[in-house]
Amino acid sequence: MRERARHPGLHDASGNNLPHRLVDVAGVSTYVVDAGEGPPVLLVHGYGDTADGWRRVVPGLLRDHRVIAIDVPPFGRSDEVRRPELMDFYKEWFPALFAKLELERATVIGHSLGGAISLHLSLERPDLVERLGLVAPAGLGKAPPWWWHLLTGYGPVYKTALSVPTPFTGTLIREGMKRFLDVRLFHEGRHLKSDIAHLVELHSSRKDFDRLLAAGRCCIQSYTGTLLEDSAAIKVPKLMIWGRHDGLVPPDHARAFERLHPEAHVHVLEDCGHYPQIEFPSKFNALLRSWIDETSASGAKPPLRAVA
C-alpha cells in the first residue's frame, strides 16, 4: 500500500471505520472496502480520486446493502498499471474483481471516469450489471474536452514548467491544481476547501503528479467518441445525476443521454458542479435511494423528471 497522502477512509453512520484490505486482482494489488449485507453495490470513483470520494454516500447504503468501494488502479492505495490503454485493462480487470469478490451481479455506480468505466462494463459484460448509476460520466462527447489535454500534459505549459525540477516544483503543482479545482470541480469551492485540499494533497508531489498525468494520457488514448451511441444497447435500469454547473464534463450530455434513454431517471442539479455526491449529499442520496427502491420493487419505472 502506497503511503503518499492521508486518506479520510470510509465509515458507517456511527463513524466506525469500515473493513478494508488489499486484494490481488488480475495481478494488481487493489484497495477494497467491503462492508454490509444485502444486494451488492459497487462504487467506482473518478479520475484522480479514491474510494473515499463516496464517503457521504456509503453510510446510507449500508443500511440494507453490501457496499464495495475500490481504489481503481492506478489511483490511491492501489498499485500502478503498466498498460498503454486503461480502458482495455479495465475490460479484463473488472470481471476479475467480480470473480475475486464472489459477485454474480451488482448495482454499479460510477462517477466521472468511473462512469465511463461503468458504461464500458455494462456494454462488455451486461451479465454483471444489475443497475447502472452514472454521476457526471466522462466519455459521452465526440472528443475529450480541451482542459483534459492541458491537464494530462499535452500542452506545452506543463511540459515546460515541470521539465526541470526545482525546490518550488511541489508548490507550483499544488497551487496550479488548487486554482484549477477551485474553478472547475465544485460550483461553490469556497464551501468545500477541505475536499479540494484533500484532492490536491493526493497529487502534490512530482512523482504523484506525473502518475496522474500518465493515467490521463492512457484515458485519452481510449476515447472512442461513440460511447453515447453505444450505450443504446444497455437495457438495465439507469440513473444519471449531473450538476448544472459542472466545469469538467458538459452537463448537456445528460440531456443527450435522456433523449437516447427516455426510460432512465435523469436529474440535473442546480448550483452544483462535478461532484453531486459531495456538494449535495442529502439530495444525491435521496435520488439514489428512490431509484434503487423503485427499480427493486417492480423493475424499471417511468423516470422522475423533477429537476432540483
Out of 110-124, 156-170, 191-205, 244-258, least confident range: 156-170
Q: What is the pTM of this model?
A: 0.84
Dist CA 118 CA 134 (whole Å): 8
Cell 480502458, located at residue: 87
Dist CA 270 CA 240 (whole Å): 14
CB 166 within 8 Å of CB 229: no
Q: What is the DSSP code string of 82-124?
A: --S-HHHHHHHHHHHHHHHTT-S-EEEEEETHHHHHHHHHHHH
**pLDDT on residue 146:** 66
Q: Which letter does DSSP use for residue 269 in this model?
A: E
**pLDDT on residue 304:** 38
Residue type, 57: V
**pLDDT on residue 302:** 40
Q: What is the pLDDT of residues 143-185, one digit of tens each?
A: 776 666 665 655 445 555 555 555 445 555 556 666 666 556 6
**129-135: strand order across its sheet:** 20-25, 28-35, 66-70, 40-44, 106-111, 129-135, 238-243, 265-269
**pLDDT on residue 35:** 98
Dist CA 129 CA 118 (whole Å): 9
Dist CA 112 CA 134 (whole Å): 8
Cα dist. 44→37, 124, 245, 291 in Å? 19, 16, 22, 18
- pLDDT bracket for residue 187 (50, 70, 90): low
Helices assigned H by DSSP within 163-301: 169-184, 193-202, 206-221, 227-230, 252-260, 276-279, 281-298
Q: What is the pLDDT of residues 198-232, one digit of tens each?
A: 666 666 666 777 777 776 666 666 677 899 999 99
Out of 40-54, 98-112, 198-212, 241-255, least confident range: 198-212
- pLDDT bracket for residue 306 (50, 70, 90): very low
| CB proximity list for 146: less than 8 A, separation 6 or greater | none
- pLDDT bracket for residue 51 (50, 70, 90): very high
Q: Which letter does DSSP use for residue 292 in this model?
A: H
Cα dist. 21→52, 260, 291 in Å? 14, 39, 30
Name the phi and psi angles at 292, rounded to 5: -65, -45
- pLDDT bracket for residue 308 (50, 70, 90): very low
Q: What is the pLDDT of residues 265-280, one digit of tens each?
A: 999 999 999 999 999 9
Question: To the nearest whole percent, how much of the chain has pLDDT over 70?
Answer: 70
The structural domains of the chain, ordered by start, are: 20-144+225-298 (3.40.50.1820)
**pLDDT on residue 143:** 78
